[in-house]
A and B are shown apart, each in its own frame.
Chain A
């Protein structure tokens, strides 16, 4: 059979894989260099907007599969009793940490009469609709985004402690990178001695407390809370407690592992702290607003209980957590 001279020559596979490999490297370089406001990031944000409903459907459809996984993980225990005890345990531990914070705060105020360390948090609840689709990142997706006033950098909490930080926002969903992710870092205190360090995640989800010098005494069971340094996470939010402390003779810092209070797999709703550092209200500000601003509460129009970005806080925030009702939650 004669060879067809008009038949187009096929591109050799080697050249094709070379070209596509170069293109992949160019994409990686462009992604790393363009920043969060670049074109590629915008495209990914668009993809997340489109795939968020699919993830939501998958979370519903995958419920029986998740149940099988939970069964396998806890095959030797009664899952119902474990869940109940775990919830009680987490609540009690969180309360203990908060009370200890209040006690120590009271001691400082007694010694320094002009110190003011109380603030109120504005927050909005959201529902977890998806977890990470791969094994390398610890990210959850929640069902609210920019249309609900969320923005990149907002801290996210469970009812008992810190979970993570919003990393990416779409109009109706947000991606939250958990503190257990290897790319996360939180400035924290060891509650017992106020030693400050950085709590970092890892590829396997273990929390490491770094930069604690060998001369500082840290014991198993010590409580870890946010320090407020950097202005990202408010001060005093419970994170976990020390699980192990190791120190080799030549080490400069101790190797400390922390067990987190909040495990994302046990929660379906989370709280997003929507009040920025500028909007954090002190007790004095609250009192002055109450005295002079009652007549303006209606004019401000900030009475939507699910929108935490009003800033005045007097009429909407409760003391302590400032928790608002979840919008659209069932």
Chain B
């Protein structure tokens, strides 16, 4: 079985997105430590992109980012832009290379979460909603990355045990 040629079902993307949004609404404020809340939506967007194609990942990233912007208090469109680009980027990576081991996937998840948060902080600085970018990196980006990364690991482990859908070319190769 080649994990790189398998994708999760579209229903999983839809249901997982809904769960991520609900968790962000209901659970994130309660499990915040020292006012640092995890970003369930970003985590799921990245993990979904690891197991989905470019089109579905990009669209899911756009919609998830829009949902985040609507339920959070920042500028509308900020996280939308971040998750759109981030999801496309992660889904474009060589999935065979990512799928070598779960530690490699966890590493990519952590890096993606860091890039997403720092890109978001940069956006806020550019549009004037953040007064101190360096402080934001130290007090928000890094802690949120670590916390979100831990949450994302749990999501990834759950996802890695869910059945995946085989691509048509794999079926055609079996029929020959």
Whether A associates with B in a native complex is yes
Q: What's the dominant secondary structure at chain A's contact region? A: helix
Least CB separation from A134: chain B residue: B72
Indicate whether A65 sits within 8 Å of B26 (C-beta atoms), given known contacts A1-B172, A21-B81, A136-B124. no
- Do B39 and A51 touch across chains, with their CB atoms under 8 A apart? no
Say yes or no: is A62 at the interface (Cβ < 8 Å to chain B): yes
- Do B81 and A130 touch across chains, with their CB atoms under 8 A apart? no
The B80-134 residues at the A interface (CB cut-off 8 A) are 80-81, 84-85, 88, 91-92, 120, 124, 127, 129-132
Indicate whether A203 sits within 8 Å of B131 (C-beta atoms), given known contacts A13-B92, A58-B25, A133-B29. yes
Least CB separation from A139: chain B residue: B73
- Residues of B with C-beta under 8 A to A86: none
- Do A24 and B62 touch across chains, with their CB atoms under 8 A apart? yes
- Residues of A with C-beta under 8 A to B172: 1
Interface centre among A10, A131, A136, A203 (most CB of B within 10 A): A136
- Do B73 and A24 touch across chains, with their CB atoms under 8 A apart? no
Least CB separation from A28: chain B residue: B77
The A36-69 residues at the B interface (CB cut-off 8 A) are 40, 43-44, 47, 51, 54-55, 57-59, 61-63, 65-66, 68-69
- Residues of A with C-beta under 8 A to B85: 17, 21
Say yes or no: is A329 at the interface (Cβ < 8 Å to chain B): no
Number of interface residues of B (CB under 8 A): 55
Interface centre among B74, B77, B135, B172 (most CB of A within 10 A): B77
Say yes or no: is B12 at the interface (Cβ < 8 Å to chain A): no
> Which residue of the partner chain, among B31, B88, B92, contacts A62 with CB atoms under 8 Å?
B31
- Do A24 and B32 touch across chains, with their CB atoms under 8 A apart? no
Binding site for A on B (CB under 8 A): 22, 24-37, 39, 53-55, 58-59, 62, 65-66, 68, 70-78, 80-81, 84-85, 88, 91-92, 120, 124, 127, 129-132, 135-136, 139-140, 143-144, 172
Give me 19 A-to-B residue pairs in the complex whose CB atoms sit less than 8 angstroms apart, sorted by A's number: A10-B55, A16-B88, A17-B84, A28-B81, A32-B127, A51-B71, A55-B26, A58-B29, A69-B30, A73-B33, A73-B34, A130-B29, A133-B37, A134-B68, A182-B132, A203-B131, A204-B135, A204-B139, A205-B35
